[in-house]
């Protein structure tokens, strides 16, 4: 009887953490899908929309700095319960915002909720993986992508049916809150911590975590660049139709999601260092070769290879950060996540500046080169 219970608890906890990853992705996809409607309803220009996007990122980064300490002190499960409900409820603020200031405040709160859940669920996923004794983290990240697709899909249906943003966000918030209320009951209890005197107290960011954060930054530069610049490269540089231009990012996203589902199998066979080295090489050479060929078919294949390459790197970076020191996994993951968000923000801007001085092909060569640097830096993800 006790053996059955021991096996069942980690399994239920795995499904509970999966619910958090799906819900977090769905919340972000919900907001993203209705940006055009919110822009039209509030009469915003492109600059004001950019400010709104920055508010989400700023709220996430600021919250990450606090939630890591809370997860380490009280346990990630205790943090996930209230913050998951807060994230779901925070969708109501931008949904019913009637002005730009109200929207910015609402998105700042929404970003904070998203950031806290992001760090806490990644921290708890490390605990669940330790209870399993085998790699399962990559699948969690794949389910985040699935959640984003679900949120965007429901948002597209809501927009097609002319459902108001407020009503749509309220429905999603209620559905996410109900799912997370059920999931929080199955989370694992806090792990027994080593005595505080058993390891030296460390302030700031350690060199090892900084290195992992830089790898997350490099990968996030590539991911953000694909979202913003791959359609423009196909349309403006290679002169494809708008429909073909949209295929590039769709293929990139699909390949990233599919190969994240395969990531746990691959890391069990190859080990994290060889997997990251191979993935970085595939991403860098695939995208770089496509840029040199300057043909639409080559570009789409290159974007697909870039998605395959990036798919398994971030999960292994997070896995290495979360398991480096279980006593401070929340803080370490928060620092790595913050640098990753920095890449998402800075990458498209830097590539835009380079492209304005030279050519978009040269700008997109930057994430290809960074992927090759990740391949060379693969030993950073080796387990301690």
Confidence of residue 194 (pLDDT cuts 50, 70, 90): low
Rounded Cα–Cα distance for residues 339 and 35 (Å): 25
CB atoms within 10 A of CB 374: 28
The predicted-structure confidence for 30-59, as pLDDT tens digits, reads as follows 888 888 888 889 998 877 887 887 888 888
Residues whose CB falls within 8 Å of the CB of residue 124, separated by 6 or more in sequence, listed in order:
13, 17, 20, 76, 77, 80, 187, 188
Query: What pLDDT is attached to residue 34?
Result: 87
Query: What pLDDT is attached to residue 193?
Result: 58
Long-range contacts of residues 231-238, Cβ cutoff 8 Å, at least 24 apart: 232/360, 233/299, 233/360, 233/361, 233/364, 234/296, 234/299, 234/300, 236/360, 237/294, 237/359, 237/360, 237/361, 238/294, 238/295, 238/296, 238/299
The predicted-structure confidence for 298-313, as pLDDT tens digits, reads as follows 999 999 999 999 999 9
Q: E strand or H helix at 146, and its extent? A: helix 137-160
What is the dihedral angle through the alpha carbons of 131, 129, 133, 310, rounded to the nearest 10 degrees?
Answer: 180
Q: What is the mean pLDDT of residues 2-17?
A: 68
Query: What pLDDT is attached to residue 326?
Result: 77
Residues whose CB falls within 8 Å of the CB of residue 50, separated by 6 or more in sequence, listed in order:
none
Six-digit token pair at 108?
């700042």
Q: What is the DSSP string of 242-259?
A: HHHHHHHHHHHHHHHHHH
Query: What pLDDT is attached to residue 314?
Result: 93
Rounded Cα–Cα distance for residues 63 and 68 (Å): 9
Could you tell me if 220 and 60 are in contact, meaning their C-beta atoms sit under 8 angstroms apart?
no
Rounded Cα–Cα distance for residues 8 and 6 (Å): 6
The predicted-structure confidence for 114-157, as pLDDT tens digits, reads as follows 989 999 999 899 889 888 888 888 999 999 888 888 888 898 88
Query: What's the chain's average pLDDT?
Result: 87
């Amino acid at each position: 009887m006790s053996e059955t219970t021991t096996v069942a608890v980690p399994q239920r906890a795995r499904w509970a953490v999966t619910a958090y990853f799906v819900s977090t992705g769905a919340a972000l996809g919900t907001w993203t899908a209705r940006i055009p409607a919110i822009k039209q309803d509030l009469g915003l220009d492109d600059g004001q929309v950019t400010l709104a996007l920055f508010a989400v990122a700023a709220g996430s980064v600021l919250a990450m700095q606090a939630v890591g300490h809370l997860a380490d002190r009280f346990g990630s499960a205790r943090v996930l319960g209230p913050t998951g409900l807060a994230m779901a409820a925070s969708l109501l603020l931008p949904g019913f915002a009637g002005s730009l200031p109200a929207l910015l405040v609402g998105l700042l709160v929404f970003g904070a909720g998203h950031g806290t859940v992001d760090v806490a669920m990644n921290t708890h996923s490390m605990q669940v993986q330790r209870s399993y004794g085998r790699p399962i983290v990559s699948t969690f990240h794949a389910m985040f992508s699935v959640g984003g697709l679900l949120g965007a899909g429901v948002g597209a249906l809501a927009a097609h049916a002319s459902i108001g943003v407020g009503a749509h966000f309220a429905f999603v918030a209620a559905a996410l809150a109900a799912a997370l209320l059920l999931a929080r009951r199955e989370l694992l209890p806090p792990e027994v911590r080593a005595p505080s005197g058993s390891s030296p107290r460390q302030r700031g960011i350690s060199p090892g975590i900084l290195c992992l954060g830089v790898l997350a930054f490099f990968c996030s530069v590539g991911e953000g660049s694909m979202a913003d610049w791959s359609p423009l490269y196909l349309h403006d540089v290679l002169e494809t139709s708008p429909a073909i231009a949209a295929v590039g990012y769709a293929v990139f996203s699909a390949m990233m999601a599919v190969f994240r589902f395969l990531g746990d199998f691959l890391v069990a066979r190859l080990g994290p260092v060889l997997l990251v080295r191979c993935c970085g090489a595939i991403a860098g050479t695939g995208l770089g070769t496509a840029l040199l060929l300057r043909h639409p078919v080559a570009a789409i294949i290159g974007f697909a290879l870039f998605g395959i390459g990036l798919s398994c790197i971030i999960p292994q970076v997070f896995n290495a950060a979360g398991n480096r020191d279980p006593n401070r996994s929340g803080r370490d993951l928060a620092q790595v996540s913050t640098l990753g968000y920095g890449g998402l923000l800075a990458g498209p801007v830097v590539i835009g500046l380079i492209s304005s001085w030279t050519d978009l092909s040269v700008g997109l060569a930057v994430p290809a080169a960074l992927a090759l640097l990740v391949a060379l830096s693969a030993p950073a993800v080796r387990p301690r």
